[in-house]
Amino acid sequence: MNFSFNSFDGAQSQHTALQFVVQIRNLNYYYGQGELRTQVLYNINFELTPGQIVIMTGPSGSGKTTLLSLIGALRSADEGSLKILGQELVGLSKPKMVQVRRNIGFIFQAHNLFESLTASQNVEMAVELLGNWRKKRKLALEILSQLGLEHRANYKPKALSGGQKQRVAIARALVNEPLLILADEPTAALDKKSSHEVIMLMRKLAKEHGRTILIVTHDSGIIDVADRIINLVDGRLESEAMVKSYGQ
Ligand SMILES: Nc1ncnc2c1ncn2[C@@H]1O[C@H](COP(=O)(O)OP(=O)(O)OP(=O)(O)O)[C@@H](O)[C@H]1O
Ligand SMILES: [Mg+2]
């Protein structure tokens, strides 16, 4: 499978066949300094391959969001190895981390929409960032309608419900079809129908477009579409279950 690395520099910007989208080896992570230094992740090892949807579950405080933010190049680790899209993040400079982030779609709990822009304009901004001005309106409307928001495209966030805002944020994260999608409880504020639309869109991106998706969730509707479930307990990956036949 070929991926294009439009926003990477150098040789990696060419089409590259990748075996692993995420490859983590012996990763440890600590918060705080000196006496306050506390270990939150212990010897994490796992991989994600192109087209996989993997669910991460685990009790509150077990380190799920921390691990997601390390994979997303939002914070840096200094013990072990963390390769994202073929790029080692441990020891990487800040500007290079920013480049890695351009290939990742983030769906985190705080949606951070621009209040002065409409739903469509919020999504269009993400398209503009990759320089695709001509198609931005069309792409934004397409994805908003896939998420059941075609009638809300020209409304500003203050005129949208919590669940609608969340779906706009999801549209913004997915509109560029990033190679890697990281989602932290993406359907927590959504009703069953909206959750289903979000899940179907993610499944399409993974299965038809080869995108790789890591989702923190306890939503059983999402668990149904997962290729694998990983369970994080007290900062350790406890188990991996294949769930191809989940629910049967
Ligand atoms: N910025 C921070 N500074 C210090 N400690 C932190 C920080 N963020 C999280 N922690 C601690 O690290 C541990 C893991 O937190 P994390 O947010 O990754 O857990 P989580 O599995 O995502 O939990 P939840 O399911 O409640 O979202 C917790 O003990 C938390 O208190
Ligand atoms: Mg969390």
Domain ranges of the chain: 6-20+48-76+92-242
Nearest residue (by CA) to ligand 1, atom 1, is 31
Select from 28, 30, 38, 40 the residue to mutate for testing ligand 1; criterion: most ligand atoms less than 8 Å from CB. 40
Nearest residue (by CA) to ligand 1, atom 18, is 63
pLDDT score recorded for residue 51: 94
Ligand 1 pocket: which residues have CB below 6 Å? 31-32, 40, 58, 60-66
Nearest residue (by CA) to ligand 1, atom 7, is 31
Residue 18's pLDDT band (cuts 50, 70, 90): confident
Sign of the dihedral defined by the CA atoms of residues 172, 206, 48, 166, in that order: positive
Q: Which two tokens stand for residue 48?
A: 């994600």
Q: What amino acid occupies position 202?
A: M
- DSSP character at residue 86: T
Q: If you measure from the C-alpha of residue 216 to the centroid of ligand 2, how many angstroms do you get, rounded to a whole number?
A: 8
Average pLDDT over residues 136-160: 95
Q: What is the CATH number of domain 6-20+48-76+92-242?
A: 3.40.50.300
Q: Which long-range contacts (CB under 8 A, 24 or more apart) does 17-20 make?
A: 18/50, 18/85, 18/86, 19/49, 20/47, 20/48, 20/49, 20/83, 20/86
**Predicted TM-score of the model (pTM):** 0.88
Q: Which one of the ligands is nearest to 62 CA?
A: 1
Most confident of 5-9, 40-44, 108-112: 40-44
Q: What amino acid occupies position 70?
A: L
Q: If you measure from the C-alpha of residue 61 to the centroid of ligand 2, how many angstroms do you get, rounded to a whole number?
A: 7
Evaluate if residue 223 carries a pLDDT over 90.
no
Nearest residue (by CA) to ligand 1, atom 3, is 31
